[in-house]
């Protein structure tokens, strides 16, 4: 709360919450009002429908959770897991947590059920997504880019990607614990040179296609060339 220098701070118990519905016009909302309309935390999820996972844009996914059954709930848990896995559908469910209503995606993982909380449609700022002019890319450039994608396509392995900051932090802690000095990595102040997109794609593709050198073939030991 900002106050004039000649005014004393407003006591916390005199501060109220409100919503400005018009300029300089507010609706005051008290704690009791919030308590009345806030959803109560629930321990159960209500499944409302089933959809294809491919229809859900990943931009809507927020946080992931592993879901486990409680007590006698393991049989319906196993039934839902297997039904989702075999049908190819995921479930959309609703539940309340921390005074907020949540919509979640329930999908089968490798051995159990995984839930992803979702953002609501009005929380996604679609208007801020950049509108690409696909006419800027020529057919030659597009074909070359798709060739490079195919050449670099591999199965997804999340273990290959690491948090280098965390690794460096742990190394720093280990070094400091042994009273060793650690020098900071120096970032280059020079901007990276720009490169023509065609040249960049061609060079990347050339590296991917470079054959591995093979050793010269030798005759097996103990064998002689046959004479005529």
Tens of pLDDT, residues 67-123: 998 888 899 999 999 999 999 999 999 988 767 788 999 999 999 999 999 999 999
Site of tokens 């196993």: 78
Q: Of 45, 18, 49, give the one whose Cα is nearest residue 31.
A: 18
d(CA 174, CA 162): 19
CATH class, domain 46-124, is: mainly beta
Phi, psi of 115 (to 5 degrees): -115, 140
The residue with greater pLDDT, 75 or 180, is 75
| Strand 100-108, strand 89-97: pairing | antiparallel
- Tell me what pLDDT residue 95 has: 84
Cβ-contact 205, 148 below 8 angstroms? yes
Q: End-to-end distance of the chain based on CA atoms, in angstroms?
A: 105
Domain ranges of the chain: 46-124
- Tell me what pLDDT residue 28 has: 80
Band of the pLDDT at 5, cuts 50, 70, 90?
Answer: low
As given in the structure block, the two tokens for residue 137 are 């890319």
Q: Of 107, 8, 123, 127, give the one whose Cα is nearest residue 52.
A: 107
d(CA 24, CA 83): 55
Burial label, 136 (beta-carbon count in 10 A; 0-12, 13-18, 19+): exposed
- Tell me what pLDDT residue 80 has: 94
- Tell me what pLDDT residue 100 has: 77
CA angle 181, 183, 184 (to 5 degrees): 140
Question: Buried b vs exposed e over 144-177: b needs ≥16 C-beta within 10 Å?
Answer: bbeebeeeeeeeeeeeeeeeeeeeeeeeeeeeee
Q: Which helix (H) or strand (E) holds 27?
A: strand 25-29
d(CA 206, CA 203): 5
Give the chain's mean pLDDT.
Answer: 79
CA 45 to chain centre: 23
Average pLDDT of the segment spanning 52-68: 94
CA–CA distances in Å: residue 87 to residues 11, 50, 91, 200:
59, 10, 11, 43
Model's pTM, two decimal places?
A: 0.60
- Tell me what pLDDT residue 46 has: 87
The DSSP letter of residue 56 is S
């Amino acid at each position: 709360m900002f106050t004039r220098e000649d005014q004393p701070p407003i006591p916390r118990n005199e501060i109220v919450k409100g919503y400005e519905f018009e300029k300089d016009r507010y609706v005051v909302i008290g704690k009791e009002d919030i308590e009345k309309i806030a959803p109560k935390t629930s321990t159960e999820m209500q499944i409302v429908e089933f959809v294809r996972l491919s229809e859900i844009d990943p931009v809507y996914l927020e946080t992931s959770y592993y879901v486990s059954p409680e007590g006698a709930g393991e049989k319906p848990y196993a039934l839902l897991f297997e039904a989702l896995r075999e049908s190819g559908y995921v479930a959309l469910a609703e539940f309340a947590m921390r005074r907020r209503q949540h919509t979640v995606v329930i999908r089968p993982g490798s051995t159990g059920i995984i839930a992803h909380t979702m953002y609501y449609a009005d929380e996604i700022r679609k208007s801020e997504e950049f509108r690409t002019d696909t006419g800027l890319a020529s057919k030659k450039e597009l074909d070359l880019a798709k060739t490079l994608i195919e050449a670099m396509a591999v199965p997804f392995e999340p273990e290959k990607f690491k948090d280098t900051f965390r690794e460096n932090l742990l190394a720093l802690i280990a070094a400091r614990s042994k009273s060793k000095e650690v020098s900071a990595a120096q970032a280059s102040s020079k901007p990276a040179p720009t490169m023509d997109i065609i040249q960049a794609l061609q060079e990347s593709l050339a590296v991917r296609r470079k054959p591995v050198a093979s050793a010269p073939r030798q005759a097996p030991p103990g064998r002689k060339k046959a004479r005529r």
